[in-house]
């Protein structure tokens, strides 16, 4: 494409000091997975907003990305496009590996979807386990003021499932016995549930939350935690 690009020590593609492509690698059961990105005409402000976590109350065991200055290919060539980039990648790949066969274009047609292994693969990609089941362990802390007191809740999740929770209540209206009951009952309600997909007003055994209450406080807590953790898909 005529753009003077290079690889840095992390195998990112850079033009000058700016990163235009990043890659990730994984080897599992003798299979190598590799995926990469390319910034062609991306809205960089939007990209920054997406990559900067809005939640500063999450502690995770996931691997953080190395932050780097970025730019689009179009900064260096206004004619750069998805089509030109794709064509250049195909051409270089064929040259690098001595491939002379024709390019095979896969299209999204009904006949392809009817193939069993394609259909099964599509079904797997739409499951909760594929999307969330490998989420690294993390702990999230939530805080809220209710009319009856101030609550801090710490939720620990692994592989998308809530392992446990711990509540701290500061209130002049609640006795220590009620606080301990709230902490225990909320933990029972949350444990084993899919993080981000709590049922509306339901408990772990399918009974209404109201059946577990010592008053209305647990109802308030559960509804608030659900709102604060809901994942919209």
Question: How far is residue 198's CA from residue 229's CA, in Å, rounded to a whole number?
Answer: 8
16 in the Ramachandran plot: left (φ > 0), alpha (ψ -120 to 50) or beta?
left
| pLDDT interval class at 171 (50, 70, 90) | confident
Position 71 pLDDT exceeds 50:
yes
**How high is the pLDDT of residue 202?**
53
| pLDDT interval class at 210 (50, 70, 90) | very low
**How high is the pLDDT of residue 104?**
78
Over the range 34-60, which residues count as b (16 or more CB within 10 Å of their CB) and which as e? eeebbbbebeeeeeeeeeeeeeeeeee
| pLDDT interval class at 211 (50, 70, 90) | very low
Neighbouring C-beta atoms of residue 106, cutoff 10 Å: 7
| pLDDT interval class at 29 (50, 70, 90) | confident
CATH superfamily of 138-229: CO dehydrogenase flavoprotein, C-terminal domain (3.30.390.50)
In the chain, % of residues over pLDDT 90 = 38
Question: How far is residue 166's CA from residue 50's CA, in Å, rounded to a whole number?
Answer: 30
Position 190 pLDDT exceeds 90:
yes
Q: Does 6-105 match 138-229 in CATH topology?
A: no
User: What is the domain class of 6-105 according to CATH?
Assistant: alpha beta
Give the pTM.
Answer: 0.67
Round to the nearest angstrom and report the end-to-end CA distance of the chain. 38
Q: Convert the pLDDT of each residue in 139-159 to its tens digit.
A: 999 999 998 889 999 999 999
Domain ranges in the chain? 6-105, 138-229
């Amino acid at each position: 494409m005529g753009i003077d690009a290079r690889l840095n020590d992390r195998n990112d593609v850079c033009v000058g000091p700016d990163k235009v492509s990043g890659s990730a690698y994984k080897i599992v059961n003798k299979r190598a997975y590799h995926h990469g990105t390319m910034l062609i005409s991306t809205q960089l402000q939007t990209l920054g907003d997406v990559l900067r976590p809005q939640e500063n109350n999450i502690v995770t065991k996931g691997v953080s990305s190395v932050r780097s200055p970025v730019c689009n290919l179009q900064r260096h060539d206004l004619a750069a496009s998805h089509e030109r980039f794709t064509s250049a990648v195909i051409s270089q790949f064929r040259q690098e590996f001595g491939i002379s066969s024709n390019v095979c274009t896969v299209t999204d047609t009904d006949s392809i979807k009817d193939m069993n292994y394609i259909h099964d693969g599509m079904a797997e990609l739409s499951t909760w386990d594929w999307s969330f089941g490998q989420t690294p362990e993390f702990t999230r802390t939530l805080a809220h003021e209710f009319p009856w007191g101030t609550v801090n809740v710490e939720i620990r999740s692994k592989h998308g499932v809530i392992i446990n929770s711990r509540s701290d209540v500061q209130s002049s209206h609640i006795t220590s016995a009620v606080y301990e009951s709230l902490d225990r009952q909320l933990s029972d309600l949350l444990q084993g549930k899919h993080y981000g997909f709590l049922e509306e007003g339901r408990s772990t055994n399918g009974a209404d939350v109201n059946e577990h209450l010592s008053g209305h406080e647990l109802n308030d807590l559960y509804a608030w935690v659900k709102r604060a953790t809901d994942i919209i898909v």
